[in-house]
Amino acid sequence: MLAKRIVPCLDVKDGRTVKGVNFVDLRDAGDPVELAWNYSQQGADELVFLDITATHERRKTMVELVKSVARQINIPFTIGGGINEIADADALLNAGADKISINSAAVRNPALIDELAKAFGVQFVIVAVDTRLVENTNIVHLNGGRIATDKETLSWIKEAESRGAGEILLTSMDHDGTKAGFDNKLLKIVNDAVHIPVIASGGAGSVQHIVDVFEQTNVDAALAASVFHYGEILIPDLKDVLRANKIEVR
């Protein structure tokens, strides 16, 4: 069994790290470059950087900020936000990204997944999925959760895998920022249905929530933001607890 990964996430808006609840009411959480350095020192396994308003504001990800973060860390680095074509991904690779995350653009143009996987390799492409329950069905949402689609979440994830997604970053909007725990029911369904790694996102509020998501769903990675940004969970302490629960970590 592969070691489970702990992945802090920097949601960046206007050059600052922010965090909200259910994708709204954003508040400042610090300087992304400083936070990135701190997580690299603490023993995070990877770092995700999401330019959360790039798609909504119809602009590209902030390449200079990405370069500044990349210089501070020595762990795999994923970038998402505003990636619509091969050239965008190429620019981010050159800025220091190890992987890219696509969300809205992939739903609008699914062939983009095929193109990126062919150009850079499957392991380079993470498809991020923001999902929310709508009349008891999990539905994919776009533009930072602002727009509901007609796509059912599991069927879209299976399509993304078939097109060349190397990983799925699945965020439950209903759980995001609530600190009430991950959507383990949905995560288990998805993880059992695909053959690529699944990163759980949305709802981490305690060390126990992260223990639970690994034990109950067997996902490959747990992503969290505010509990790390505000020092509520320290990564070395978290890994000690996971090891004590016989969950293999790096």
Asked if 90 is an active-site residue, the reply is: no
Catalytic residue of the set 45, 88, 130, 176? 130
Closest CA to 171 of 110, 238, 206, 221: 221
Among residues 87, 1, 92, 9, the alpha carbon closest in space to that of 46 is found at: 9
Element of type H or E holding 99: strand 99-102
Return the number of other C-beta atoms located less than 10 Å from residue 1's C-beta: 7
Residue 234, number of CB atoms within 10 A of its CB: 14
**Angle at alpha carbon of residue 173, lines to 182 and 246, rounded to 5°:** 15
Q: Out of 11, 45, 183, 220, pick the active-site residue.
A: 11
**Burial readout 163-189 (b: 16 or more C-beta within 10 A, e: otherwise):** bbbbbbbbbbbbbbbebebbbbebbbe
d(CA 108, CA 124): 20
Reply yes or no on whether 11 is catalytic. yes
Whether 126 contacts 166, CB under 8 Å: yes
Catalytic annotation, residues: 11, 130
